[in-house]
């Protein structure tokens, strides 16, 4: 090969390599920004406003039985709760293996399968769980009538369970005779559970229908093990005129004794019955419309609540109220919410002092909605709402000025993207 | 409420836009110059006589035949400020030219060249108090600008003889800068990162005139000028600024008395300060001289093709200063040119080493490669 040809080919190769290597742009000259890049955005401005125009404690959930977790607790004079599970439709026949359907004439190995939150069991056990027949014609939502049925003549069964026997899926055996009697009489089987901690107080959390893992009744209609056991899911047929409430009442927690609620003028989150705090703000439109909010913090003064488990951690989350201006009742508005993506706030009931709740993401929605359409409101709720007696308390706007809820807003102004 | 409005107003006034991260990218950006790879290799000296450079509309009369020319010019840049430095790669297509002879004496040409390239990206970390007085976080400000102002020229040239050529050009300056500015916070649970984007469009007109005179075969002179009109900057439908397109004047000389060689030189003046009124911050535009010269010799035959070798040097003032000081660019260049496919195409290559300084601690070095391909259909 001639030298000239070799030179030309080498040059062409080098040129091609350089051309290709320069095709991927790299414009980033951040390495010298300390000298060559003046700050573009302005400094973050911080403002603390007495922006709360309404703060009130409201009942959470939309009614009895809507809790995702059933709380079975016995903590002396402080807390006592029961759990009711309704099996309003029991099968009258069964299908033996390789045969035709037959009437159920016997019940064997009847148990209720419970999905238990084993990470949050309180008390070392052993636990005695009693089951009562709580079927009644009284008003469906009358807890007093239900509580009255936890009496000896209504006792169906009792089972002693050690702490180790409470597993994620626990079998609670009930009387075969009681189940058979209900089947043969065509009556409803409504079971009330009660826990008794023999050595200490007890607190057990059971997944509910709302969680998607309801307690189910399982039994054999024949001793023949080839035939599969029958599984009955909870069902409530009353109130017949309100299927939504009926569905909620398939399983629910009945509160017998609860810790004392917060005094008037104090905001309360969590507890039993569960509560939320509704805040409505008056935020200057100049901030929402003209500035870019990068952080917004609700500054709350926590009030100590030593009544129960004061050092346990409670997670609180802010939620954006989506209820429009037409919903004037804060209790109703506080049920129509959307999560604000963010970390829950960790607090302990016995603590006191300043608590920060980050709510900046609410401004993203408020910027696109006028205040006469969507009130600037948020709700604080406990993550374990309805399944924990722990209650967090805060000073309200009725308190002295220094302790009232305030809103601290950090914002930058829109940078004019213009000629340099 | 009054305090709140005052605070917002102060924040609005104090905010600035324009983090460009290089000496050559200050203000509206870097001017590649409208030179072909051949002209770049001679330090710009031959630009006043080069049909593929956009200095003078008269030069298109030298094309001889219809031609299409495209140039690719990547720049590898290194900026040093004290002990810190940054390396960037910018890919540019600064020049595209079409020339069409119309009869024996007239030639038309349509071309587009990059007038001011502002493509840049920077990130700056600032510590900010966000929330209570002791609550500080590092905010990353990311600024990205893409786009350029381009010079689109329609030219007409007349050449009655090889002694004299004259041409006129009508220029449309058009283009846009797409700007994205983000403020990024480290904890998405507590903070909301922000992002803004915008587009600034530019539009303006200018006219140019060029003359070329060769009193003998050995020497030639060229004069060229461009008179700028108004350049408007718009964001959406709103005019955000206006200025005059800089007037440009140049004079060139070429000596071809040595067989197989030509020596050329050029001096030009750009009234960049006329763009000063378009700047919205403290960026200062300076009028500047652009001087350069070089030599072009017929080199060896490689694969039966006569290769042309070129070398040159150039010094010029860039349009926009840094910290109130002029930015000067000094460059040394070399290159080659070779005919392809029986002279129906040609390839030009140049390499430039450019040093830029504003007299301070900040230094900038650029390595610009230019690949030019001319095709005559």
Q: pLDDT of B49-66, one tens digit each?
A: 999 999 999 999 988 889
Which of these three, A257, A277, A308, is where a domain ends? A257
Q: Within 13 A of A408's CA, how many CA atoms are on the CB side?
A: 22
pLDDT at A3: 54
A324 and A404 assigned to the same domain: yes
Distances in whole angstroms, Cα of residue A5 to Cα of each of A43, B26, B117: 63, 44, 38
Query: Which residues have CB under 8 Å from B342's CB, separation 6+?
Result: none
Alpha-carbon dihedral angle through residues A143, A144, A147, A151, given to the nearest 10 degrees: -150
Over range A274-301, report the average pLDDT. 91
Residue A57, in any domain of the structure: yes
**CA pair distance B353, B94, nearest whole angstrom:** 17
Whether residues A98 and A220 fall in one domain: yes
A25 and B91: CB-CB below 8 Å? yes
Residue B135, pLDDT above cutoff 50: yes
Distance from CA of B222 to the nearest CA of A (A): 33
For B74, name the nearest residue in chain A, comparing CA atoms only.
A22
Distance from the Cα of A184 to chain B's closest Cα (Å) equals: 58
B243 part of contact set with chain A, CB < 8 Å: no
Q: How much is the average pLDDT of A51-63?
A: 86
Same domain, A337 and A290: yes
How many percent of chain B have pLDDT more than 70? 94
Across the strands, what pairs with A406?
A299
For chain B, domains (ranges, CATH) are 34-375 (2.40.160.60)
User: B-chain residues within 8 Å CB-CB of A363?
Assistant: 192
Residues 6+ apart with CB under 8 A from B147: B118, B119, B175, B176, B177, B178
Q: Which domain holds residue A228?
A: 79-257
Kindly state whether A263 is in contact with chain B, defined as any CB-CB distance less than 8 angstroms.
Answer: no
Q: What is the DSSP letter of A16?
A: H
CATH classification of the domain holding A344: 2.60.120
Domain boundary among A257, A281, A296: A257
- Residue whose token pair is 């900010």: B128
Of the candidate ranges B16-30, B83-97, B313-327, the one whose mean pLDDT is the lowest: B16-30
Average pLDDT over residues A247-257: 93
Task: Find chain B residues with C-beta within 8 A of A4's C-beta.
Answer: 300-303
In DSSP terms, A75 is beta-bridged to A79
* Counted domains in chain A: 2
pLDDT beyond 80 at B272: yes
pLDDT score for A2:
57
pTM confidence score? 0.75
pLDDT tens digit string along B232-249? Answer: 999 888 888 899 999 999
Whether B144 and A45 lie within 8 Å, measured CB to CB? no
Cα gap A363→A287, rounded to integer Å: 10
Q: Which residue has the higher pLDDT, A8 or A97?
A: A97
A231, A357: one domain: no
- Given a contact cutoff of 8 angstroms between Cβ atoms, the answer to whether A191 and A84 are in contact is yes
Query: Hey, is the C-beta of B129 within 8 angstroms of any chain A C-beta?
Result: yes
CA distance B202 to chain A (A): 10
The reply to whether A192 and A272 lie within a common domain is no
* A17 lies in some domain: no
B369: chain A residues, CB-CB within 8 Å: 15, 18-19, 22
- Could you tell me the pLDDT band of residue A224, with boundaries at 50, 70 and 90? confident
To the nearest whole Å, the CA of B127 is away from the closest chain A CA by: 10
User: What part of A 313-372 touches B (C-beta under 8 Å)?
Assistant: 341-343, 356, 358, 360-361, 363-364
CB contact under 8 A, A22 and B91: yes
Kindly state whether B2 is in contact with chain A, defined as any CB-CB distance less than 8 angstroms.
no
Pair (A88, A227) in one structural domain = yes
Question: What pLDDT was estimated at residue A142?
Answer: 87
Share of chain A above pLDDT 90, in %: 59
Does ipTM exceed 0.85? no
With 70 as the cut, is the pLDDT of residue A8 above it?
Answer: no
Instruction: Output the pLDDT for position B10.
Output: 35
A115 and A198, same structural domain? yes
Window 194-233 of A: residues touching B by CB (8 A cutoff) are: none
Are residues A111 and A88 both part of a single domain?
A: yes
Q: Note whether A162 and A269 are same-domain residues.
A: no
Whether A16 maps to a domain, the answer reads no
pLDDT at A30 over 90: no
A227 and A284 fall within a common domain: no
* Cα A286 from Cα A279, distance rounded (Å): 20
Q: Identify how many contiguous H helices and E strands chain A contains and give both numbers.
A: 8, 25
| pLDDT tens digits along A320-355 | 999 998 999 999 999 899 988 778 999 999 999 999
Evaluate if residue A199 carries a pLDDT over 90. Answer: no
Q: How far apart are CA A103 and CA A124, in angstroms?
A: 43
Q: Is the pLDDT of residue A417 over 90?
A: no
SS (H, E, C) chain B: CHHHHHHHHHHHHHCCCCCCCCHHHCCCCECCCCCCHHHHHCCCCCHHHCCCCCCCHHHHHHCCCCEEEEEECCEEEEEEECCEEEEEEECCCCEEEEEEEECCCEEEEEEEEEEEECCEEEEEEEEEECCCCCCEEEEEEEEEEEEEEEEEEEEEEEEEECCEEEEEEEEEEEEEEEEEEEEECCCCCCCCCEEEEEEEEEEEEEEEEEEEECCCCCEEEEEEEEEEEEEEEEECCEEEEEEECCCEEEEEEEECCCCCEEEEEEEEEECHHHHHHHCCCCCCECCEEEEEEEEEEEEEEECCEEEEEEEEEEEEECCECECCECCEEEEEEEEEEEEECCCCEEEEEEEEEEEEECCCCEEEEEEEEEEEEEECC
Q: Are residues A216 and A286 in the same domain?
A: no
Q: B73 to chain A: which residues are within 8 Å by CB? A: none
In the prediction, which pLDDT does A235 show? 95
Summarize the confidence of residues B335-364 as an average pLDDT.
89
Read off the pLDDT of residues B92-104 as tens digits, 9 standing for 90 and up: 999 999 999 998 8
Q: What's the pLDDT band for B280 if we cut at 50, 70, 90?
A: low
Interface list for B 278-317 with A (CB within 8 A): 278-281, 283, 300-303
- Domain boundary (A227, A257, A287) is at A257
Closest partner CB to A410 (pick from B14, B18, B130): B130
CB contact under 8 A, A364 and B192: yes
CA distance to A166, A261, A304, B115, B146, per residue, from A28 (Å)? 59, 59, 52, 22, 12
Q: What is the mean pLDDT of residues B145-165?
A: 94
- Residue A116 in domain: yes
Mean pLDDT along residues B185-205: 89
pLDDT of residue A60: 82
| pLDDT at position B281 | 63
Clarify whether residues A173 and A280 are in a common domain.
no
CA dihedral A338, A344, A350, A355 (to 10 degrees): -90
B15 near A CB under 8 A? yes
* pLDDT of residue A281 exceeding 90: yes
Q: A18-36 b/e with 16+ CB inside 10 Å = b? A: beeebeeeebbbbbbbebb
Longest CA–CA span in chain B (Å) reads 83
With CA atoms as reference, the chain A residue closest to B370 would be A19
Does residue A159 lie within any of the structural domains? Answer: yes
**B225: Cβ contacts below 8 Å, ≥ 6 apart:** B208, B209, B210, B247, B248, B249, B250
pLDDT at B302 over 80: no
Q: What are the structure tokens assigned to A113, written together?
A: 């399968």
**Residue at A277 is within a domain:** yes
Interface check for A28 against chain B (CB to CB < 8 A): the answer is yes
* Contact residues on chain B for A413, CB-CB shorter than 8 A: 8, 11-12, 15
Mutation pick from B132, B188, B338 vs chain A, by most beta carbons of A within 10 Å, is B132
Contact A15 B371 (CB under 8 A): yes
Say whether B20 and A37 touch across the interface (CB within 8 A). Answer: yes
- Per the CB < 8 Å rule, is B86 touching A32? yes
Residue A25 lies in a domain: no
**B181–A15 CB contact, under 8 Å:** no
Cα dihedral across residues A327, A330, A335, A339: positive or negative: positive
Which comes out higher in pLDDT, residue B301 or B185? B185
């Amino acid at each position: 090969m001639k030298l000239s040809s070799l030179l030309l080919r080498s040059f062409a190769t080098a040129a091609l390599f350089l051309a290709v290597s320069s095709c991927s742009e790299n414009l980033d000259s951040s390495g010298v920004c300390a000298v060559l890049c003046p700050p573009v955005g302005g400094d973050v401005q911080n403002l603390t406003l007495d922006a709360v125009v309404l703060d009130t404690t409201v009942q959470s959930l939309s009614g009895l039985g809507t809790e995702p977790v059933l709380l079975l607790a016995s903590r002396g004079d402080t807390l006592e709760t029961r759990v009711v599970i309704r099996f309003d439709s029991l099968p009258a026949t069964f299908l033996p293996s390789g045969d035709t359907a037959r009437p159920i004439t016997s019940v064997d190995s009847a148990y209720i399968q419970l999905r238990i939150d084993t990470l949050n069991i309180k008390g070392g056990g052993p636990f005695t769980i009693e089951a009562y027949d709580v079927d009644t014609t009284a008003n469906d939502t009358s807890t007093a009538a239900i509580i009255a049925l936890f009496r000896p003549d209504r006792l169906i069964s009792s089972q002693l369970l050690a702490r180790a026997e409470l597993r994620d899926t626990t079998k609670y055996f009930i009387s075969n005779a009681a189940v058979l009697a209900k089947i043969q009489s065509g009556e409803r089987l409504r079971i009330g559970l009660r826990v008794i901690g023999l050595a200490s107080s007890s607190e057990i959390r059971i997944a509910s229908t709302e969680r998607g893992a309801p307690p189910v009744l399982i039994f054999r209609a024949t001793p023949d093990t080839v035939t599969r056991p029958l599984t009955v899911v909870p069902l409530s047929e009353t109130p017949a005129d309100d299927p939504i409430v009926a569905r909620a009442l398939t399983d629910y927690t009945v509160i017998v004794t609860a810790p004392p609620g917060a005094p008037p003028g104090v905001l309360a989150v969590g507890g039993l019955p569960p509560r939320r705090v509704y805040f409505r703000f008056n935020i200057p439109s100049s901030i929402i419309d003209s500035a870019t909010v990068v952080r917004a913090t609700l500054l709350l003064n926590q009030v100590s609540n030593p009544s129960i488990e004061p050092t346990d951690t409670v997670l609180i989350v802010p939620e954006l109220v989506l209820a429009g201006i037409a919903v004037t009742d804060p209790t109703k508005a506080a049920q129509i919410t959307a999560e604000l993506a963010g970390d829950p706030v960790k607090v302990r009931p016995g603590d006191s002092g300043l608590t920060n709740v980050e709510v900046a993401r609410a401004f993203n929605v408020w910027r696109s909605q006028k205040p006469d359409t969507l009130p600037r409101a948020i709700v604080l709720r406990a993550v374990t709402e309805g399944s924990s007696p722990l209650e967090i308390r805060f000073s309200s706007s009725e308190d002295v000025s220094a302790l009232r809820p305030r809103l601290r807003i950090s914002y930058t102004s829109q940078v004019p993207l213009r000629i340099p | 409420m009054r305090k709140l409005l005052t605070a917002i107003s102060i924040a609005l006034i104090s905010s600035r836009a324009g983090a460009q991260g290089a000496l050559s990218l200050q203000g509206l950006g870097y001017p590649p110059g409208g030179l072909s790879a051949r002209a770049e290799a001679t330090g710009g000296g031959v630009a006043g006589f080069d049909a593929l450079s956009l200095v003078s509309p008269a030069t298109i009369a030298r094309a001889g035949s219809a031609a299409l020319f495209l140039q690719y010019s990547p720049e590898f840049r290194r900026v040093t400020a004290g002990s810190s430095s940054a390396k960037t790669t910018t890919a540019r297509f600064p020049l595209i030219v079409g020339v069409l002879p119309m009869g024996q004496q007239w030639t038309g040409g349509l071309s587009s060249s990059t007038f001011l390239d502002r493509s840049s990206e920077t990130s700056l970390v600032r510590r900010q108090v966000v929330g209570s007085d002791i609550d500080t976080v590092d905010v990353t400000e990311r600024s990205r600008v893409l786009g350029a102002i381009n010079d689109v020229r329609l030219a007409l040239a007349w050449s009655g003889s090889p002694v004299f050529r004259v041409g006129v050009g009508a220029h449309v300056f058009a283009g846009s800068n797409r700007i994205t500015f983000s403020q990024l916070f480290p904890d998405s649970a507590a903070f909301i990162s922000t992002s803004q984007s915008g587009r600034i469009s530019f539009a303006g007109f200018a006219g140019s005139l060029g003359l070329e005179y060769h009193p003998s075969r050995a020497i030639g002179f060229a004069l060229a000028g461009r008179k700028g009109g108004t350049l408007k900057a718009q964001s959406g439908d709103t005019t955000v600024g206006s200025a005059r397109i800089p007037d440009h004047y140049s004079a060139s000389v070429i000596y071809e008395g040595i067989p197989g060689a030509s020596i050329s030189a050029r001096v030009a003046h750009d009234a960049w300060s006329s763009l000063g009124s378009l700047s919205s911050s403290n960026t200062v535009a300076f009028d500047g001289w652009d001087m350069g010269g070089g030599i072009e010799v017929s080199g060896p035959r490689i694969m039966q093709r006569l290769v042309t070798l070129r070398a040159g040097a150039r010094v010029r003032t860039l349009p926009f200063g840094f910290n109130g000081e002029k930015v000067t660019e000094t460059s040394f260049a070399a290159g080659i040119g070779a005919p392809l496919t029986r002279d129906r195409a040609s390839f030009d290559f140049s390499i430039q080493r450019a040093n830029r300084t504003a007299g301070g601690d900040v230094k900038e070095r650029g390595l610009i490669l230019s690949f030019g391909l001319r095709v005559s259909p």
